[in-house]
Chain A
Amino acid sequence: MNFVTPDFTPAIPEMVLLALASFILIADTLWSERFKHATYYATQLSLILVGALVLTSFSTETVITFNESFIRDSFGDVLKLFILIVSFGVFLFSREYLTQNDFYKGEFFTLGLFSIIGMLVMVSAYNFITLFVGLEIMSLALYAMIAMQRDSSQATEAAIKYFVLGALATGMLLYGLSMIYGATGTLTLSEIANVIQTGKADGVVLAFGLVFIVIGLGFKLGAVPFHMWVPDVYHGSPTAVTLFIGSAPKIAAFAIAYRLLVDALPGLVVDWQPLLIILSILSMVVGTVIALAQTNFKRLLAYSGIAHIGFLLLGFIAATPEGYSAAMFYVIVYALTSVAAFGMIIVLAKTGFEFDQIADFKGLNQRSPWLALMTLVIMFSMAGIPPFIGFYAKLVVLEEVITSGFVWLAIIGVVTAVAGAFYYLRVVKVMYFDVPTDNEALKPTGGDIAIGISVYSLALLVLGLMPAWLMSITYNSLLG
């Protein structure tokens, strides 16, 4: 057997990002305190550079390389691009938060970059090993990021919870992957699909493997009944980290769900569809109902995020390329909205004041009409009220699930959406109708985050008026 140099070009963005991240890691320890913000700028520049690389190398052609373990396709490119866009926002708001809370450390950004590398690898994984390695790179970096605020017992608790449950989930996933490997004798996604197609694999082992994989994915996505960590981790983590966990990793988790369920196990669709139906209904109902009782804004977003994952799964349940593209649209919209929502908390926070209780939003309209309006946009977008983009995300998944014949599921979905509207409305109510306890005018502490939050929030409106643009990207990336 001869060693053949693999085709490196499909992985250039990941490799460049790795090189830059390593450079920043070292540089950060070297450059003096005076240049501490250089780490931040270098990080953002790296993201822009890698984003540009992804964008310029974009093609509709699918390339598989590294001995069939790495794939570059338009689906992956689109997701990577959005992971980078979302992460850019995350770092933008994080810097402000870190400075305010006096734990501005270069490690935050380097860990973040490594985590992003993990996500990009997950998106491009074409065999179980790559997929797992990507997942671990991402997760380990995230655990460390939560634990960075060492003197906060809350953060430490969140980190341990996330670590233990995350490890459990990874274990489950790994267990499932090994069973599938045992049944099919291969690690490459397309070959697994082929073996299952031929019917030579043992059905029982496959079914067991599938169940474990779905459990692992359920953990990572935060779907009920594997959602327990979500509210505690979101609440306990420093807001900057919550912002990160709540956005980009969801896109990556969506990507591996797609790679596993659709690329590797399309033959088991009749098996995973009912599993996902249960997860989806539970997530929508439990997420919505528990969210109703929350008084903490971060926990509210955590539970509402669980409900959103339920909606996202509807796209998978449809089990058609259109359905997957609808789910993809949903996850991108969700990640963008999430950045805006958690970013808003950071924008509103002051040194020593977290602004994460719903009551903190009291009378925001009087203190800062502009930020109140932006929060209103975010809330209504999350609630799925037109003309904001959140509505179209719900529209497309509902359409696809109806097209696949599950009208009843769509009805459950819309009913939970109505119940869900209540807690978003409550935030709007508090902002617009309640009298502020503190009459002082609120101004964002930095010009960059003020512009950032406006751009992210207004994007929800602008995309909502012209949803065809984003929709055509996700649609074409899956349907050619």
Chain B
Amino acid sequence: MSVGYPILSTLIWLPIVAGLIVLFAGRNNPNFAKWFSLAAAVLTFILSIPLYTAFDTTTSTMQFVERFSWIPQYNIEYFLGVDGLSMPLVLLTTFTQVLVIASAWTVIKERVEQYMGAFMIMQGLMIGVFVALDAVLFYVFWEALLIPMFIVIGKWGGPKRVYATLKFFLYTFFGSVFMLVAFLYMYFQSGSFSILDFHAMPIAMTAQILIFLAFLIAFAVKIPMFPVHTWLPDAHVEAPTAGSVVLAAIMLKMGGYGFVRFSLPITPDAAMTLDWLVILLSLIAIVYIGFVALIQSDMKKLVAYSSIAHMGFVTLGMFVVYAIYRETGLVEGAALGMEGAMVQMVSHGFISGAMFLAIGVLYDRMHTREIGAYGGVVNTMPWFGFFAVLFAMANAGLPGTSGFVGEFMVILSAFKANVWWGVLAATTLIVGAAYTLWMIKRVIFGSVQNESVAKLEDLNRREFAIMATLAFVIILLGVWPNPLLEVMHSSVDNLLIQATTSKL
């Protein structure tokens, strides 16, 4: 597959170079920084479209591959490629980036060039994580990403930002070093850092379990799963709006992506043995964190907890595969859960991004995220009310929105595996609706609570455009998820075969 230019390298390096230019040329010239970043983000998005249009849906092999030797002494390569699992996430990243840049347009006043530069660099690195097929290259992108995020949260965040950003950095760093040790061990066994070679190499059971646990720590922190989720609410609450959006929409997906790219295919036997652990943690996340979300008085924190619960669906969908496989001996039935998980990832990217942007709109006007400070917003901001309710419905998993598709597929397959899992997972539809709608009721509806709410102005054109785009995508995916499912199909099937074929 070829599109006339090295598409993956372009998508990685274009934003990074643009970010560096902004960083240096944009000093004392915020307008240049903004327009240049926006132009670069839009250009990157346009250049990423061929990824979808030229994608071959019939195969699960890596496409748009670029492969060069990078560090020959250790057989480390600059090896890029996408399949049906990573391609949607790349598009999600390039799409979200445009909104992220636009969302910060008037809000950020201090050191605009550093802010924009950091986000542009982050975009390149995030795409790098999704397309890297060499373990060291993957790790480089994965870790390098922490640096700009650390700066963004710590510099433009809320009052407790320093604590939050240190916690964020150290949690994720701690998680990922074990993954590095696992990579090095596998290199020692196989003589290659290629992830595809890792997929093919046989590993003994003890080693598999240890590697699986190392991966679990790394990805569980990133997703985040209960009980290592505590950095997320802090980071989300303190991060600036765009930071929350990037965290929720894309960085959390890296954990989920890690499971499908590393854990399941590399250590299938360990995954099959320890699937109960992940399922248990996922169910705790779904149910318990759902209740935790219910009592939050801070809107961002509420959405942060709901993110954890939604990501619980992702891990649940990925690991029910094994229960179904044990029950029926067939992998076909399990595809539903896996595809549901993937759809849930993409859809959560849009919905959580939309929620955080909506909260950002309010925060920009009132500078508080306390639910109690609002009430009756719809009276002064009718358009905003419309979008907020729409996004809330999507967050609660209303049919017709993208939130429904993934959750429904996962719940269905959970029922197939074990009725009780299904029941527990399905409670989230109730709890999720409860906390989201209750928040909406308190913030949006009712009579105007105080003077500052009475003075609110409705969405301006820029905000309207952002909201409308997201609303469009959320509904589109909700009523017509087929384009997304289509590209995943072969890769998911292949993944299921890998995940259920013993490597002992």
Interface residues of A, Cβ cutoff 8 Å to B = 365, 369, 376, 380, 385-387, 391-392, 395-396, 398-399, 402-403, 407, 410-411, 414-415, 417-418, 421-422, 425, 428-429, 432-433, 467-468, 471-472, 475
Contact = CB atoms under 8 A, between A and B. Distances in A.
B385 interface: no
B74 interface: yes
Contacts of B184: 395, 398-399, 402, 410
Contacts of B170: 418, 421-422, 425
Given A398-B181, A415-B177, A421-B169, 13 more contacts: A365-B111, A369-B114, A380-B147, A386-B144, A395-B136, A398-B180, A402-B184, A402-B185, A414-B178, A418-B173, A429-B162, A468-B70, A471-B73
Given A380-B147, A410-B184, A433-B155, A421 B74 contact: no
A396 B139 CA distance: 14
Interface of B: 27, 70-74, 111, 114, 136, 139-141, 143-144, 146-147, 150-151, 154-155, 161-162, 165-166, 169-170, 173-174, 177-178, 180-181, 184-185, 187-188
Contacts of A398: 180-181, 184
Contacts of A422: 166, 170
B166 A429 contact: yes
A433 B154 contact: yes
Closest 9 A-B residue pairs measured CB to CB?
Answer: A414-B177, A386-B140, A468-B71, A433-B154, A418-B174, A403-B188, A399-B184, A402-B184, A475-B73
A471 B146 CA distance: 25
Contacts, number: 88
A375 B114 CA distance: 16
A345 B494 CA distance: 55
A467 B69 CA distance: 12
A104 to B, nearest CB: 35
A386 B143 contact: yes
A402 B178 CA distance: 13
A218 to B, nearest CB: 26
A261 B146 CA distance: 39
Contact of A399 (B74, B147, B151): B74
A417 B173 CA distance: 9
A385 B147 contact: yes
20 contacts: A385-B143, A386-B140, A387-B144, A391-B143, A395-B136, A396-B74, A402-B181, A402-B184, A410-B181, A411-B181, A414-B178, A414-B181, A415-B177, A417-B177, A421-B169, A421-B170, A429-B154, A432-B155, A433-B154, A472-B73
A111 B111 CA distance: 46
B150 A421 contact: no
A399 B140 CA distance: 15
B177 A468 contact: no
A315 B311 CA distance: 41
A23 to B, nearest CB: 41
B73 A468 contact: yes
A402 to B, nearest CB: 5
B192 to A, nearest CB: 13
Contacts of B71: 392, 467-468, 471
A160 B48 CA distance: 64
B144 A385 contact: yes
Main secondary structure of the interface of B (DSSP, over half): helix
Contact of A425 (B27, B72, B166, B187): B166
Contacts of A392: 71
B144 A418 contact: no
A233 to B, nearest CB: 31
A38 to B, nearest CB: 37
Nearest to B161: A433
Contacts of B73: 468, 471-472, 475
Contacts of B174: 415, 418
Nearest to B113: A369
A220 to B, nearest CB: 28
B188 A399 contact: yes
The listed residue with most A CB atoms (<10 A of its CB), out of B27, B147, B161, is B147
A263 B208 CA distance: 39
A462 to B, nearest CB: 13
A302 B111 CA distance: 34
A391 B185 contact: no
Contacts of A418: 170, 173-174, 177
A415 B214 CA distance: 13
A429 B154 CA distance: 8
A399 B161 contact: no
Nearest to A383: B173
Nearest to B180: A414
Contacts of B143: 385-386, 391
A365 B23 CA distance: 13
A118 to B, nearest CB: 31
Nearest to A430: B162
Contacts of B141: 386
Of residues B136, B165, B177, which shows the largest number of chain A Cβ atoms within 10 Å of its Cβ?
B177
B140 A425 contact: no
Contacts of B151: 428, 432
B164 to A, nearest CB: 11
A425 B146 CA distance: 11
Given A433-B154, A467-B71, A402 B188 contact: yes
A414 B214 CA distance: 12
A103 B170 CA distance: 43
Given A407-B181, A422-B166, A468 B72 contact: yes
A386 B134 CA distance: 15
B196 to A, nearest CB: 20
Contacts of B144: 385-387
A451 to B, nearest CB: 16
Contacts of B181: 398, 402, 407, 410-411, 414
B348 to A, nearest CB: 28
A417 B72 CA distance: 26
A407 B206 CA distance: 14
Contacts of B72: 468, 472
Nearest to B177: A414
Contacts of B165: 429, 433
Given A385-B146, A399-B184, A429-B166, A369 B27 contact: yes
Interface core residue of A376, A391, A417, A418 (most chain B CB under 10 Å): A418
A359 to B, nearest CB: 15
B270 to A, nearest CB: 16
A456 B427 CA distance: 58
Contacts of B166: 422, 425, 429
A77 B144 CA distance: 34
Contacts of A432: 151, 154-155
B172 to A, nearest CB: 10
A289 to B, nearest CB: 15
Contacts of A399: 74, 184, 187-188
A84 B165 CA distance: 40
Contacts of B169: 421, 425
Nearest to B193: A399
Contact of A386 (B139, B150, B162, B185): B139
A407 B74 contact: no
Contacts of A429: 154, 162, 165-166
A348 to B, nearest CB: 20
B138 to A, nearest CB: 10
Contacts of B188: 399, 402-403
A411 B185 CA distance: 11
A396 B161 CA distance: 35
A124 B494 CA distance: 57
Contact of A391 (B140, B162, B178): B140
Contacts of A395: 136, 180, 184
B351 to A, nearest CB: 31
A433 B70 contact: no
Contacts of A425: 150, 166, 169-170
Contacts of B146: 385
B355 to A, nearest CB: 27
Contacts of B27: 369
